[in-house]
Amino acid sequence: MRNSFLSLLIIFLIVLLAGCGQQNDIFRYHHIPNGRWSSDQTLVFIFDSISDKGDAYRVDIELSFSDFYPYRNLYLTVGRNLNDSVMHIDTLQFALAEANGKWLGSSAGRLHQITLPYLQHVRFDSGKTVRFTIQQAMTDNPLKGIEKVGIRISGE
C-alpha cells in the first residue's frame, strides 16, 4: 500500500514538473488530409487572448511529414498580423533533410517532426487577435508527404 502511494506521488510530481516548463506554449495545428497539400489550400491559425505582460515570445512552425515527402527543403508563404491589421507576408525556405538525405528533427518510423524557427522577440498587443496564414510554395500541386502543419507561440 505504501509503495503504491509513493509511486503515485512520484508520478504526479514528474507530470507536474514536466508541465511547468511549457505553461506559456500555445499550439494550433491543421491536419493535411491524405498527406496531400494543395497549393491553393491556405491554413489559417487564429490566436486570441495572448498575454500582454510585456513578455517576449517566440513563434515556430511545427511540421509533421512522412518519408513520401520528395525533397530536402520546403518553401512556405507565411502571413502574419501581429500588432496591426496589415497582413505581412514572408516567403521562407526551410531545410528538412541534410545533404546526405537524413531527415532533420525527430522521427518515429516513417513520420518525422521538426520545429522550424520563424520569429523571435515578438510582443503582442493587449486583447488583439493575431492571425497567421501558411501556404505551401512548392511547384508540386498537390505536395505529397506533409501530414500536419502548426504554429507554436512560446515564451522566451
Could you read off the pLDDT of 29-41 as tens digits, one per residue?
A: 999 999 999 999 9
If you count them, how many residues does the chain have? 156
Q: Is the pLDDT of residue 1 over 80?
A: no
pLDDT given for residue 62 in this prediction = 97
Could you read off the pLDDT of 100-146 as tens digits, one per residue?
A: 999 999 999 999 999 999 999 988 776 778 899 999 999 999 999 99
Cell numbers at residue 113, please? 517532426
Q: How far apart are CA 156 and CA 150, in angstroms?
A: 19
Please give the model's pTM, rounded to 2 decimal places. 0.79
